[in-house]
């Protein structure tokens, strides 16, 4: 039995709801979507007190289930107006408190910190000493007050100013606020509630149905994962080791997606620093994690000497190296750490900056618009200043603080064509070459993301036979083929949602490497932990329901339709560079791919929306 807290920040009242039975699996992304749908938020401004902010842990938080301590955070998105669910690792997932999560309603009259202790005591305390400070300084002051055993969820400066590029920062196992639940403006929603931080601490342990069998299975899985090549690679280098391969395949967003491959000599400087561990000092992982993909990093010399940070991802090299034209890996670390201090999501922050750089390049912005700054690709100092301006809504930062689409709509001058987004969400990903990857990003309900169905198989050396065996399609490995990609994306949508409701990190599963955990292993561990024996297919079906809950929310609260599933015109009109030079998303082919995707699901082809019968078929008749 676990408890979900419901807190009203205005009255500081608290309700406790016990969760058991089928509620165990309907956590994380599922709980968020269902709660938001039930609230009836059609007329609610996302930054008003009526928009709930929901934190939900998976059913294994606090156990030694491998990599199962992820935390979901969700709300109505102030960026897109649609569904928003973000996800974070670290130490915050409530496991030792025997909580499944909390829902925050209303808004406090004054800035507060919510303190939750192991005895269930909840207090609301003055947050004024932490306002306006960077996340590292705020965290240090909170540790000084509450002790260094607490786990923190922080609203950084950009959230205080309700910038839509903001995330919620959580402490990692090294007690640094480096883990960000981001994209879609969840930090702005936290800021709109005048909530600066949540500080939790506990000492309990999750009780499971079959302790001995569960422990044996969990330890066996941990030992197995530790010996897998994918795990060893992630432990040694983190995800940044994949940057070189992505660039060689021509799948990097270069200078606001004007090209798809970084100059090979510049890319080699980054790849060499990664492979030779110029900055990595040690590896560590989240609770019960055998993968240990995090690295503590430090720059020892040069203009960024003394910079310390954690977990520079491959995507950081897309964001700062690709989109903004920076080839110095030390500068990427420094800028990533700057975002950490401010509570800025790297992708959401770099996209409007890339838009501004291209507008400046093409004469649509001048120094009269940019506070006198000359915007040039690769100018680290100017980019650092822009990040600060975004966080505090200063000058041009106020134009950029709500994303590239909002900035383009305010500026006009035909600049919308350089705002690279899906459904209002700034893009991280290049989409021209990898067709299944592109489809998943395009149809994602929260707007442009590869974590809701993106198939990494298109970058794996699979044989058709293994592709058929694992995924039921012969083309899972073929990047430029449109054939069967709709089926592959549907498979991964279900699998990703299954992982989100169980709180399992993607990096422990065969989304990341085919030797890792799949649905069968997850189902076995789930059954031992809960006593609720479910097959892999049954859990995948639970994952399928999430998509329909999200779809229903967006059908009620947005105008998203088939037209919203078309990528930016740049991906259709301007061909890729690099080894797949000439590749683009041809409109007739894309139309056929969308028809196939909607058709596989039985949805209406004209609108791209489910029918009443579709909702009944997946077990959600109340939405029909």
* Residue 596 to residue 487: CA distance in whole angstroms: 8
The answer to whether the beta carbons of residues 175 and 148 sit under 8 Å apart is yes
| Token representation of residue 119 | 């005895």
pLDDT in tens, 277-329: 899 888 888 877 888 888 889 999 999 999 988 868 888 999 999 999 998 99
Q: Which residues of 4-39 are buried (b: 16+ CB within 10 A; e: fewer)?
A: bbbbbbeeeeeeeeebeeebbbbbbbbbbbbbbbeb
- In three-state form (DSSP H/G/I as H, E/B as E, the rest C), the secondary structure along 525-577 is HHHHHHCCCCCHHHHHHHHHHHHHHHHHHHHHHCCCCHHHHCCCHHHHHCCCC
Q: Which residues of the chain have pLDDT under 50?
A: none
3-state class of 95 per DSSP?
Answer: helix
For the beta carbon of residue 306, count every other beta carbon within 10 angstroms: 10
* Residue 317 to residue 315: CA distance in whole angstroms: 5
* Residue 316 to residue 203: CA distance in whole angstroms: 35
- In three-state form (DSSP H/G/I as H, E/B as E, the rest C), the secondary structure along 496-521 is HHHHHHHCCCHHHECCCCCCCECHHH
Pairing mode, if any, of strands 53-57 and 71-76?
antiparallel
Q: Which residues of 209-234 are buried (b: 16+ CB within 10 A; e: fewer)?
A: eeeeebeebbeebbebbeebebbebb
3-state class of 88 per DSSP?
Answer: strand
- In three-state form (DSSP H/G/I as H, E/B as E, the rest C), the secondary structure along 394-454 is CCHHHHHCCCHHHHHHHHCCCHHHHCCEECCEECCCCCCCCHHHHHHHHHCCCCCCCCCCC
pLDDT at 456: 94
What is the DSSP-derived secondary structure letter of residue 21? Answer: G
* Residue 472 to residue 600: CA distance in whole angstroms: 14
Which residues is 297 bridged to in the sheet?
280, 309
pLDDT at 122: 94
3-state class of 266 per DSSP?
Answer: helix
The answer to whether the beta carbons of residues 450 and 440 sit under 8 Å apart is yes
* Residue 535 to residue 520: CA distance in whole angstroms: 7
H or E segment at 295? strand 294-298
Pairing mode, if any, of strands 195-200 and 308-310?
unpaired
Q: How far is CA 566 from the centre of its chain?
A: 21
The secondary structure of the chain in percent helix, strand, coil, rounded to multiples of 5, reads 45, 15, 40
pLDDT at 90: 82
The answer to whether the beta carbons of residues 615 and 623 sit under 8 Å apart is yes
pLDDT in tens, 185-201: 999 999 999 999 999 98
pTM of the model: 0.96
Nearest to 191 by CA among 24, 405, 401, 29: 401
Pairing mode, if any, of strands 112-116 and 195-200?
parallel
pLDDT at 95: 59
**DSSP of 133-181, one letter per residue?**
--HHHHHHHHHHHH-TT-EEEEE-HHHHTT-TTB-EEE--TTS-S-EEE
**DSSP of 484-496, one letter per residue?**
THHHHHHHHHHHH
**DSSP of 187-219, one letter per residue?**
HHHHHHTTEEEEEE--------SSHHHHHHHHH
3-state class of 275 per DSSP?
Answer: helix
Residue identified by tokens 């990190």 is: 505
Nearest to 318 by CA among 304, 332, 307: 332
């Amino acid at each position: 039995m676990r408890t979900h807290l419901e807190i009203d920040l205005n009255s500081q009242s608290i309700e406790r709801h016990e969760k058991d039975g089928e509620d165990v699996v309907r956590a994380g992304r599922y709980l968020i979507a269902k709660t938001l749908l039930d609230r009836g938020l059609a007329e609610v401004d996302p930054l008003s007190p009526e928009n709930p902010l929901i934190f939900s842990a998976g059913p294994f938080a606090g156990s030694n289930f491998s990599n199962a301590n992820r935390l979901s955070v969700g709300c109505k998105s102030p960026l897109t107006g649609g569904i928003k669910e973000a996800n974070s690792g670290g130490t915050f997932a409530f496991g030792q408190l025997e909580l499944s999560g909390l829902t925050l309603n209303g808004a406090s009259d004054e800035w507060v910190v919510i303190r939750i202790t192991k005895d269930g005591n909840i207090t609301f305390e003055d947050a004024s000493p932490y306002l306006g400070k960077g996340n590292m300084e705020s965290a240090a002051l909170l540790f000084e007050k509450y002790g260094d055993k607490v786990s923190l969820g922080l609203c950084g400066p950009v959230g205080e100013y309700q910038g839509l590029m903001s995330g919620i920062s959580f402490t990692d196992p090294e007690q640094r606020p480096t883990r960000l639940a981001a994209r879609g403006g969840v930090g702005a929603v936290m800021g709109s509630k005048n909530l600066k931080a949540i500080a939790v601490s506990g000492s309990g342990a999750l009780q499971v149905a079959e302790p001995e069998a569960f422990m044996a299975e969990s330890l066996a899985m941990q030992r197995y994962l530790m010996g897998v090549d994918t795990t060893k690679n992630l432990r040694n280098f983190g995800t940044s080791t994949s940057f070189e391969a992505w660039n060689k395949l021509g799948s990097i967003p270069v200078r606001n997606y004007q090209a798809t491959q970084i100059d090979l000599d510049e890319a080699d400087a980054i790849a060499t620093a990664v492979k030779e561990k110029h900055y990595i000092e040690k590896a560590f992982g989240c609770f019960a994690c055998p993968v240990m993909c995090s690295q503590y990093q430090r720059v020892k010399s040069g203009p960024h000497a003394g910079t310390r940070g954690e977990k520079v991802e491959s995507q950081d090299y897309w964001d700062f190296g690709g989109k903004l034209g920076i080839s110095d890996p030390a500068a990427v670390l420094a800028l990533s750490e700057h975002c950490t201090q401010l509570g800025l999501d790297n992708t959401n922050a770099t996209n409007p900056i890339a838009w501004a750089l291209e507008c400046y390049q093409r004469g649509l912005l001048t120094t009269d618009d940019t506070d006198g700054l000359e915007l040039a690709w690769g100018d680290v100092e100017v980019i650092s200043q822009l990040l600060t301006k975004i966080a505090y809504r200063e000058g041009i930062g106020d134009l950029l603080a709500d994303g590239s689409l909002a900035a383009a709509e305010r500026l006009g001058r035909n600049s919308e064509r350089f705002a690279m987004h899906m459904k209002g969400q700034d893009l991280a990903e290049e989409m021209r070459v990898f067709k299944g990857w592109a489809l998943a990003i395009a149809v994602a309900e929260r707007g442009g993301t590869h974590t809701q169905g993106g198939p990494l198989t298109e970058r794996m050396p699979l044989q058709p036979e293994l592709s058929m065996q694992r995924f039921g399609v012969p083309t899972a490995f073929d990047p430029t083929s449109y054939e069967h990609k709709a089926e592959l994306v549907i498979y991964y949508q279900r699998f990703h949602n299954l992982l989100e409701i169980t709180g399992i990190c993607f990096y422990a599963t065969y989304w990341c490497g085919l030797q890792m955990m799949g649905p069968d292993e997850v189902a076995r561990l789930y059954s031992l932990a809960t006593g609720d024996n479910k097959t892999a297919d049954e859990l995948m079906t639970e994952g399928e329901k999430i998509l329909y809950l999200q779809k229903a929310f967006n059908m009620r609260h947005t105008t998203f339709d088939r037209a919203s599933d078309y990528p930016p015109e740049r991906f259709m009109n301007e061909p890729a560079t690099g080894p797949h030079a000439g590749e683009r998303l041809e409109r007739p082919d894309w139309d056929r791919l969308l028809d196939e995707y909607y058709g596989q699901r039985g949805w209406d082809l004209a609108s791209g929306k489910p029918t009443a019968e579709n909702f009944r078929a997946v077990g959600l008749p109340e939405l029909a």
